[in-house]
Amino acid sequence: MLTLYGSSNSRAARALVALEELGLSYRHVPLNHRARPQDRITMDAINPNGHVPVLDDDGLIVWESMAINLYLADKVGGPLWPTRPAERAATYQWSFWAQTEIDRADWNRARRGGDEALIASDRRDLVKALGVLDRTLEGRTWLLGEAFTMADVNVATTLSQPNEDGLIGWQRLDPAADGLPALAAWLARCAARPSYLAVREMP
């Protein structure tokens, strides 16, 4: 039995979307250490970093949302996991890009302490990074081409969690208004998938 720890309003949403896309049977434990002190004890017991998400696959513990998703895709295979090494390389590339270019921007913003000049500079850097994604998506249905893959799951859930209605997650940046039309259309397609809609209703 697969068990996924973490609430849908955290980075656990990324793993929940992956589990839904893969059609796997799993148990969801929506830990919320801010609301329930006991959940902090559980988190610390299953992940030495004290963070969610955490996947328990019959005793195999995997933490870090990107690692969880890549593990699941590799284990299950199927349409989310490309068979060609070049396409798998692209999946790794875009997954790590989402961490270094997008999650890093969020981390920087959180440290700015209200410095508007630095926040504006970070926003310009974010739009520049997203321009790379927008140009890649021009003329494509999905990130790697015509097939929806784990690359789409990993990048889309970094940019917009399922409960945020298509706006770029923590920056609240609207790609359509920032001259990123291909990105905006792709993100809307991702947000309309049954997996996104299902996770949007989860605790």
What DSSP assignment string belongs to 107-159? HHHHTSTT-HHHHHHHHHHHHHHHHHHHHHHTT-SBTTBSS--HHHHHHHHHH
**Tens digit of each residue's pLDDT, the chain (203 residues):** 999 999 998 899 999 999 999 999 999 999 876 767 788 888 889 999 988 999 999 999 999 999 999 999 999 999 999 999 999 999 999 999 999 988 776 655 555 666 778 777 778 888 899 999 999 999 999 999 999 999 999 999 999 888 776 666 545 678 888 899 999 999 999 999 999 999 999 99
Nearest CA to 89 among 144, 136, 132, 130?
A: 144
Q: Considering the entire predicted model, what is its pTM?
A: 0.92
